[in-house]
Structure 1
Amino acid sequence: MAAEERIPTNLRMLLILEVVGNSDTPLTPTEINAKLGLPKQTVHRLCSTLEAEGFLTRSTDGKRLCPARRLMDMSAGLVQSNRDQIIRHQVLENVARQVREAVNYVVPQETGMHYLDRVDTDWAFRIQLPVGTNVPFHCTASGKTYMASLPPSARKAFVMGLDLSPRTDKTHTSALTLLEELALTRKRGYAIDNEEFMDGMVALAVPVTDPQGRYIASLAMHGPSPRVTPESAIAERSILLGGAEQLQSILFG
């Protein structure tokens, strides 16, 4: 199989930019291709496109390519984004120090709630849900926080389309009871998972919103039920709400 067939079309330009960005000196298309193994004419064509679009520019000899303003601006944006991620993680660290349990930054995806960032507890007895974990909507505090943020009609339609399979004997398997809890969650501003996702785990989550109050993510804490009860988790909600306000400031300045 030819190299051009092995590398998806939408990745070829990114790979060229990656090679140029990682080089200390400008490169000719032939030198770029030495690292990629694409057909010569393909690399020359893609390099010409990237040059025409302002991502690459010619060096003084007119033969070699180096980053142009548009690529430099994109790189600066990525650095800025990474800075925001670092600051976001520091907010999670601060919240975790205060509640002394695992704290998670969770966002909705098509397959469930996705753990985007996490700070673990220093307790020896803890529950491992690493970054990258996907958990259900209907039986987690973060998922219920997201669903509660939806307008009532959209919320009902969303719940009616869920697979409400039980994870424990406390999981909501009725759309009606889940919708009742989501209405309460919306009113009080936080969600509780009382061993609904996992036996022996209790969690609390609050929404992170934009300045207009629109949901962006869930900020959650969880711990083992011998150490964390729904009541003790609720007692920590002001700490999570403070963290959510800090995250809003970071995300929206």
Structure 2
Amino acid sequence: MHDQTNSAKETQIPTNLRLLLILEEVVRRGVAVKPAQLVEALGLPKPTLHRLLQTAEEVGFLQRDLDGRSYGPGPRLRSLAVNTMSSEHLRTARLTILRSVAEEIGETCNLATPDREGMTYLDRVETKWPLRIQLPIGTQVPFHCTASGKMYLSTLRPATLNSVLSARALEPQTEQTITSPEALRAELQKTRKRGFSTDDEEFMTGMAAIAVPVLDTQQRLMATLSVHAPVQRSSLVQILEFLEPLKRAAISLSKLHEDQSADS
């Protein structure tokens, strides 16, 4: 009876839409998805689903998760998401928000998105001060020692976080870098409670930063909004004074993408 139901559902899904619906379901869930979950959600027969998953993996739209069985976004799907967010109309509106908060704060503001190996800078507005730290758009920075990366890690489920922390050593970038998984977990717990993250010269000597989340319509982290500055000009304590305008800008960025989703 179950097979008949699946067959009926399959005939209702046009062939050229099946792979797109699989990608949509993986992204919608926001975590690595097992084939059985996709069978249940979409009603496609197992052979059809496994064939489509294999195709999506081969061309880079999906990739196996650390457990070897689940699937998450691959490099081409992540690139597609970034390019979509960088579309001219949306980026113009986003940069307007970034410029506004950067001018209010007086320091460089960055928008970063999580990738497989770290956080990638999607947009930035530079400070007008002559002394600045150069991290251009497209730069990828580690998770464990940056404000944006720690903000992202703090949103992961315990099992996923354990997999990330056990995958490789926490390489020191400066004398301040947290290299103990236990100490990093404690830091991430503080981050979850207070709703923002910090980088006190942990990624780069002489640089401090804070970051807040930019949430999607399901209240999941979509990106991070951060501000960083040389400690000669703004210590971490001083940067924390920028928290409220940063939070307001993050809400505006979330609303911008919410409105975009509603219009599409």
- With the shorter chain as reference, the TM-score category is 0.5 to 0.7
Give 2:170's aligned residue: 164
- Local SS of the residue matching 1:239: helix
1:1-80 matches, within 5 Å, as: none
- Local SS of the residue matching 2:87: helix
Amino acid at match of 1:83: H
**Shift in CA distance, 134/210, structure 1 to aligned 2, threshold 3 Å:** same
Q: Note the residue ranges of structure 2 that are not aligned, 5 or more in a row.
A: 1-83, 260-264
> Equivalents in 1 of 2:256, 2:183: separation in Å?
36
User: Are the aligned partners of 2:107 and 2:127 in contact in 1 as well (CA < 8 Å)?
Assistant: yes
What do you get for the CA RMSD once the two structures are aligned? 1.6
Amino acid at match of 2:153: M
> Equivalents in 2 of 1:172, 1:112: separation in Å?
16
The reply to whether residue 110 of structure 1 matches residue 116 of structure 2 is yes
The percentage of counterpart residues that share the same residue type is 42
Q: CA deviation at 1:80?
A: 9.9
The reply to whether residue 186 of structure 1 matches residue 192 of structure 2 is yes
> Equivalents in 1 of 2:241, 2:171: separation in Å?
30
Q: Note the residue ranges of structure 1 that are not aligned, 5 or more in a row.
A: 1-77
The reply to whether residue 199 of structure 1 matches residue 205 of structure 2 is yes
The reply to whether residue 219 of structure 1 matches residue 225 of structure 2 is yes
**Shift in CA distance, 122/210, structure 1 to aligned 2, threshold 3 Å:** same
The reply to whether residue 239 of structure 1 matches residue 245 of structure 2 is yes
Q: CA deviation at 1:163?
A: 3.0
Q: CA deviation at 1:162?
A: 3.7
- Local SS of the residue matching 1:203: strand
Amino acid at match of 1:99: I
Amino acid at match of 1:143: G
Point out the structure with max Rg over C-alpha: 1
Give 1:124's aligned residue: 130
TM-score normalised by L of structure 2 = 0.64
Amino acid at match of 2:195: G
Runs of 4+ in structure 1 over 4 Å off: none
> Equivalents in 1 of 2:131, 2:255: separation in Å?
33
Give 2:28's aligned residue: none
TM-score normalised by L of structure 1 = 0.67
Q: 2:97 aligns with which of 66, 70, 91?
A: 91
Q: 1:139 aligns with which of 138, 141, 145?
A: 145
Q: CA deviation at 1:240?
A: 0.8
